[in-house]
A and B are shown apart, each in its own frame.
Chain A
Amino acid sequence: MKQDTIGYDSLEVRPLPKWLTDQRDGLNTWQPQKLEMKEDHSLQISLISTGIVILITVVILTIYFLRKNKKV
C-alpha cells in the first residue's frame, strides 16, 4: 500500500517494489551511521562565557571594595 506507483505506459516500465530494489541494493541491512562534519562553536562559547565570568567578578569585587572603602 505504501508502494508509490507512478504513471507508466507499459508493464515493462512499471516500477519494481521498493522492498525488492532495497533488497537487491543491500539497503535493508544495517547501515553504518554517516558521520558529517558540523561547525564547532565550542571555543567561541568558551571564550565568551569566560569573559562574562571575569567581567562579573571584576564588577562584583569593584563594588565590594568601593563600599568597604566608603565605610572606612
Chain B
Amino acid sequence: MKRIYFKIIIIGALLSMACTTKVSEWVLLNSVPDTYLLVYFHKNEISETIKKQHSEIENQFQTANILLKTMQRDEVEKPYYALYFNNRLIKENIDENQLENLTFSPLRETVANELMNGKLCVMLYLKCGIPEKDEKGLEVVKNSVAASPYADVITVLELDRKNMEESQLVSLLLNVEDDLKEINEPMLFGVFGKFRALEPLLAKGISQENINLMIGFFTADCSCIIKDDLPGSSILYNGVWENPQTALVNKILDANPNLEHH
C-alpha cells in the first residue's frame, strides 16, 4: 500500500509541475513541429541518378520537418520540386540548387541556437524596405523589450525582406498567414518552441502594449487551451532539438515571484 501512496504523490507532483511550465518551455520540450511536404513532379520514369539524389536529400532531411514525395503527372514538361504546407502551395518550380537552402540558413541557425540556449523567444523583425517605417517599428520593439523584466531572455533579430541569403526564410515567414505577402509593412514575429512563429504584429500593431501581450503569452503558465490549439505556424528548419538548456525565464521568475501570472 505504501508504494501506491508514493506513486500517487510522485504523479501528483509531476502533474503540478506540468501546469506551472511556461508556454515557451512546454512547446520547446513537448511539441512536434508540423511537417512540410516537398513534391517532385515528373512525367517520365525517375532515373537512377534522380533516385540516388533523392536518397541523399532524404538523408539530409532526417532532422528537418519535411518529407519528400514524388508525383507522376502527364502535363509536367520539365521535372520540378514544389513545397507544400498544410495542403497549401508555398513555393513551386524549385530546382536542385535551391534545395540546400530550403531547410537551412545562417539566421535560422542563430534563432534555433538562441531557443536551445534557454531564451524565452526570439523576436524576428522583418523589415519592409521603407527606412522610416522600419526604423520607427524597430525602435518600438527595442524600447519595449528593454523595458520588460524579461529583456535578458528575449533576443531581437532583424531581417531584411530582400536578403537573398535568407530568401527562403522570408518566404516561409510571409506564409504564416495568407495575406502577409501583399502587406508591405514591417512585421514582428515571435518565434518560440521548435521554430514556431506566431502570427505577426505588423505596422501600427507593433506597439508596446502588443509586445507586452506577446511576452505575456510566452511567460504564461501553459494551459490545456494553448496546448490543444497552439497558435502560429512551424517554420521549416533542419536542426536537432534534443537536450535544450533549462529555460532562463525560470530564474527571473524565481527571483521575482510577483511576476508570476496565471
Contact = CB atoms under 8 A, between A and B. Distances in A.
Given A11-B185, A23-B213, A28 B198 contact: no
A24 B220 CA distance: 12
Interface stretch (A12-20, A37-45, A56-64): A12-20
Interface in B196-223: 198-205, 210, 213-214, 216-217, 220-221, 223
B224 A30 contact: yes
A18 B205 CA distance: 13
Contacts of B225: 27-31
Given A5-B177, A5-B178, A16 B220 contact: no
A68 interface: no
A46 interface: no
A71 B156 CA distance: 99
B210 A20 contact: yes
A30 B177 contact: no
A3 interface: yes
B86 A1 contact: yes
Contacts of B226: 28
Contacts of B205: 16
A19 B231 contact: yes
B223 A29 contact: yes
The residue among A11, A12, A27, A28 with the most chain B CB atoms within 10 A of its own CB is A28
A24 B229 CA distance: 17
Q: Could you say which interface size class chain A belongs to?
A: 10 to 19
Interface residues of B, number: 35
Contacts of B141: none
B192 to A, nearest CB: 11
Contacts of A3: 176-177, 199, 231
A34 interface: no
Contact of B262 (A11, A17, A20, A29): A29
Contacts of B85: 1
B182 to A, nearest CB: 10
Given A30-B224, A30-B262, A20 B201 contact: yes
A17 B213 CA distance: 11
B183 interface: yes
B217 A23 contact: yes
19 contacts: A1-B175, A1-B176, A1-B233, A3-B176, A5-B178, A11-B202, A11-B204, A14-B179, A17-B200, A17-B201, A18-B199, A19-B217, A20-B210, A28-B226, A29-B225, A30-B19, A30-B221, A30-B223, A30-B262
Across the A-B interface, give the 4 residue pairs with the lowest CB-CB distance, nearest first: A17-B199, A19-B231, A1-B233, A3-B199
